[in-house]
Amino acid sequence: MSVELRDIDAALARIRAYVHETPLTTHASLNVLCGTECWFKAEHKQKGGAFKARGAHHALTRLSPEQLACGVATHSSGNHGAALALAASRFGTRAFVVMPSNAPRPKREATIAYGATVIECEPTLAAREETLRACVEQTGAVFVPSYDHPDIIAGQGTVAIEMLRQNPELDTLVVPVGGGGLLGGISVAAKALKPSIRVIGAEPEGANDAKRSLESGVRVTQHHPDTIADGLRTTLGELNFALIQRYVDDIITVSDPQIIDAMKLYMSRAKELVEPSGIVGLAAILRKPDLFVNSCVGIVISGGNVDLEHPVWL
Amino acid sequence: MSVELRDIDAALARIRAYVHETPLTTHASLNVLCGTECWFKAEHKQKGGAFKARGAHHALTRLSPEQLACGVATHSSGNHGAALALAASRFGTRAFVVMPSNAPRPKREATIAYGATVIECEPTLAAREETLRACVEQTGAVFVPSYDHPDIIAGQGTVAIEMLRQNPELDTLVVPVGGGGLLGGISVAAKALKPSIRVIGAEPEGANDAKRSLESGVRVTQHHPDTIADGLRTTLGELNFALIQRYVDDIITVSDPQIIDAMKLYMSRAKELVEPSGIVGLAAILRKPDLFVNSCVGIVISGGNVDLEHPVWL
């Protein structure tokens, strides 16, 4: 069971009515600083403030009416939970979201605001999975995973189709990688649409399981992430890793201070709000500018849900 | 000497090559909260991060080559100084900007980054005017005022032409008012293009000289502004007041906490960075929602230059 361009094309047709085609924008002063032409895909302006709306809505379009009627459930530290809550409300069903106690406050609040039932648990993968299992057992809801599933990957991959339509000149894509749903889906679509394109992952140094997995050829399943990029702390998925091994050219890691610098730079120049996980692509270009000289780079900004009461950049 | 639509049309033709046509965007969740249809004109995404680029570039297109060669000078606590610096660099001339010692750091830094010479003075109007006079005397630079001048007003008024082209359905405009260049210019253009349109100013309670001037019929020239909206502390100009008296329907004042609330709301929903002065229009709608029911409201966001190191919303 894998994901191909035709799945991603079909996903785009299915979700078109529910999600935004987000803008692809460029900024003269950032191009000068990066020493290359940068085009930013604004998934922070997606419904719910993150690309996760694509996969969540797509997954729900693939459920039968009977399944949908049972409600949906997931565990998530943030954007996927909010996206699933949003999608469930659009499809007229219930959502149960297991969230670790350290989930960012605004993401938790958004999930509740979209009408989901939030169930808090300890911030460990074991606790999340166990709490979810109990929730599914009690409610009969259908589990919708956050990244390691073909429907989710196909949904997230729709970003690449839009980008290459919006600017066919793009010769490189730089994409955040956490669980690998976004990078996996984008790499499939991009390489199928434009075989010459480079696809590069961007990852925090403190959560570099994708980098280590790609280098060793063996998926890292145990890791102890330590990064401000809360959306990228998840462990690379199995299906995701297979796609990344096949289609991704390189992964660049960035430190938390580099993420903060990129975040402040983008906010002050573009006047847009981005979350730490969202801006690792720009941080990667600023860290390794030599890799991007004379390129036309598409950078995916994956989300913009920051806690304004506790700015991480201070 | 006044300003008419034809002056503003001509200004738009002159500045088109130098400034952005900024987007006009709407946000479903903000429409629900405001109880009306809101369209935001994104002048925080203008060159230099504020609408001031329009007036400054227009003023420079109106100088003779001989005048331009002398350089330009102004006093400004922020966005006009940066805009003049930017315009001067585009026109290949020098800019001298007198800035009070309490000018926001990022605005001062931007002015310097655009190549201007910044001359610091005490934060009083008298000190600003005296320092500017000395600067003009020494350098021979041409004074480019920040708001009380037909060329500046015509430049800022171009915002209204774009808005009504971008959405001809707009039936109300809400515009920040400080010195009155933006509100004056917009009101002239909007009423000429669409006589039925309402034009409403939005002003901090702590700098309500425009409101008091409009109510009494006499321009307030002495006032002691106390507001976080640093761009709106200036005193209403003479020419500006005459236009506002003639064309503006109402002025709504908002408190600093209301400005902060509107700022946080817009940032979290639209994922865009706005400055306190920039978002008074949204604050005004949230304060007086009854005035905007069943309307199609254009809200000018005048700027987005915030100090990320010292977030005013905390």
Contacts of residue A106 in chain B, CB cutoff 8 Å? Answer: 268
Q: pLDDT value at position B270?
A: 97
**Over 70: is that where the pLDDT of A105 sits?**
yes
- DSSP secondary structure code for residue B102 in this structure: T
SS (H, E, C) chain A: CCCCHHHHHHHHHHHCCCCCCCCEECCHHHHHHHCCEEEEEEHHHCHHHECHHHHHHHHHHCCCHHHHHCCEEEECCCHHHHHHHHHHHHCCCCEEEEEECCCCHHHHHHHHHCCCEEEEECCCHHHHHHHHHHHHHHHCCEECCCCCCHHHHHHHHHHHHHHHHHCCCCCEEEEECCCCHHHHHHHHHHHHHCCCCEEEEEEEHHHCHHHHHHHHCCCCCCCCCCCCCHHHCCCCCHHHHHHHHHHCCEEEEECHHHHHHHHHHHHHHHCECCCHHHHHHHHHHHHCHHHHCCCEEEEEECECCCCCCCCCCC
What is A5-51+149-301's CATH number?
3.40.50.1100
Nearest CA-CA distance, residue B270 and chain A, Å: 7
Annotated active-site residue in B41, B47, B52, B211: B52
Nearest CA-CA distance, residue B101 and chain A, Å: 22
**pLDDT averaged over chain B?**
96
Q: pLDDT value at position A2?
A: 87
B91 band by pLDDT with thresholds 50, 70 and 90: very high
Q: Hey, are the CB atoms on B268 and A44 less than 8 Å from each other?
A: no
Strands across the sheet with A95-100, in order?
Answer: A117-121, A95-100, A72-75, A142-143
Decide if A5-51+149-301 and A53-143 have a common fold.
yes
**Over 90: is that where the pLDDT of A78 sits?**
no
Rounded to two decimals, the pTM is 0.95
**Over 90: is that where the pLDDT of A77 sits?**
no
**Over 90: is that where the pLDDT of A222 sits?**
no
Q: Hey, are the CB atoms on A271 and B311 less than 8 Å from each other?
A: no
Contacts of residue A82 in chain B, CB cutoff 8 Å? Answer: none
Q: Hey, are the CB atoms on B272 and A271 less than 8 Å from each other?
A: yes
B39 band by pLDDT with thresholds 50, 70 and 90: very high
Domain ranges across chain A: 5-51+149-301, 53-143
**Over 90: is that where the pLDDT of A70 sits?**
yes
Query: Between 3.20.20.70, 3.40.50.1100, 3.40.50.300, 3.30.70.2190, what CATH number should domain B5-49+149-301 receive?
Result: 3.40.50.1100
Active centre residues of A (catalytic): 52, 77
pLDDT for A133-161, tens place per residue? 999 999 999 999 999 999 999 999 999 99
pLDDT for B96-137, tens place per residue? 999 999 898 889 999 999 999 999 999 888 999 999 999 999
Q: Hey, are the CB atoms on B271 and A45 less than 8 Å from each other?
A: yes
Substitution target in B263, B264, B266, B271 with the highest count of A β-carbons within 10 Å is B271
Q: What is the mean pLDDT of residues B251-271?
A: 97
Q: Is the ipTM, as predicted for this complex, more than 0.90?
A: yes
Which residues does B contribute to its contact with A (CB < 8 Å)?
42, 44-45, 49, 106, 264, 267-268, 270-274, 304, 308-309, 311, 313-314
Contacts of residue B45 in chain A, CB cutoff 8 Å? Answer: 270-271
Q: pLDDT value at position A124?
A: 86
What is B53-143's CATH number?
3.40.50.1100
**Over 70: is that where the pLDDT of B1 sits?**
no
